[in-house]
């Protein structure tokens, strides 16, 4: 009988490639729309054609210094981004909340919001979600002070019914996942990661070492 510990990913994780696509209407400026990066993870063949889809990652880039009304801007994108905005900004003043702002070095101005990470079912349970998401954050971190996320399960429709205890267990599990990248609780269920420190780099080294167990020798 095969135990859960005997499970292996469908393919060698070192065959996964990340494709970064920047999405923003060309006529908009920082006051009109956020910049979204859609990162897809796939196992490709020798010609770059996807053989197996692994994950989808959605990262929103916000530039507070160039945005007059970041709260309204984020709230207009979707509800989860609205919660992020209400948490990290001072609603009455429109600038970053001092408790949030004081945690980070002055280097960089952008805020990266890890908005969505979803692995396909066969690739779950191997610790690769944190590794791939962290790799994407590191790739996009130039000019960024911090990353934020709301560890919450993805809803797949308004009719989806989840009881409170199951939801809490899912949130607890996701908090542990993102803690592996260095995210720490801030307020209102929002977690933050200081990109001015080496925390993310050190976390990625550990996660890569753990993923080595699934390499095909």
CATH (domain of 56): 3.40.630.30
Q: Which range marks the domain in which residue 195 is found? A: 4-214
Per-residue pLDDT tens over the stretch 107-157: 778 999 999 999 999 999 999 999 999 999 999 999 999 999 999 887 655
Position 121 scores a pLDDT of 96
Element (H or E) spanning 53, and its range? strand 50-62
CA separation for the pair 191, 56 (Å, rounded): 20
CA separation for the pair 152, 161 (Å, rounded): 15
CA separation for the pair 186, 54 (Å, rounded): 30
* Average pLDDT of span 66-85: 86
Position 95 scores a pLDDT of 85
Per-residue pLDDT tens over the stretch 28-73: 877 788 899 999 999 987 777 778 999 999 999 998 888 888 888 8
Q: Specify whether the CB–CB gap between 168 and 82 falls below 8 A.
A: no
Q: Specify whether the CB–CB gap between 112 and 148 falls below 8 A.
A: yes
Q: List all residues 6 or more positions away from 71 whose beta carbon is below 8 Å from its beta carbon.
A: 82, 85, 86, 89, 91, 94
Which pTM value belongs to this model?
0.90
Q: How many domains does the chain have?
A: 1
Per-residue pLDDT tens over the stretch 187-205: 999 999 999 999 999 999 9
């Amino acid at each position: 009988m095969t135990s859960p510990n005997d499970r292996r990913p469908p393919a060698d994780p070192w065959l996964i490639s990340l494709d970064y696509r920047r999405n923003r209407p060309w006529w908009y400026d920082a006051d009109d729309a956020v910049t979204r990066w859609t990162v897809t993870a796939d196992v490709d063949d020798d010609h770059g054609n996807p053989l197996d889809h692994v994950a989808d990652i959605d990262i929103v880039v916000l530039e507070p210094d160039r945005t007059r009304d970041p709260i309204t801007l984020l709230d207009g994108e979707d509800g989860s981004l609205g919660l992020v905005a209400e948490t990290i900004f001072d609603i009455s003043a429109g600038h970053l909340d001092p408790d949030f702002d004081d945690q980070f070095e002055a280097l960089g101005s952008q805020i990266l919001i890890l908005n969505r990470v979803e692995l396909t079912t066969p690739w779950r349970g191997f610790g690769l979600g944190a590794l791939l998401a962290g790799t994407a954050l590191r790739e996009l971190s130039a000019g960024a002070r911090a990353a934020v996320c709301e560890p919450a399960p993805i809803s797949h429709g308004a009719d989806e019914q989840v009881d409170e205890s199951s939801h809490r267990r899912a949130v607890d599990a996701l908090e542990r996942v993102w803690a592996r990248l260095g995210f720490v609780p801030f307020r209102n269920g929002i977690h933050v990661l200081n990109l001015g420190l080496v925390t993310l780099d050190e976390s990625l080294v550990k996660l890569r070492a753990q993923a080595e167990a699934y390499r095909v020798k």
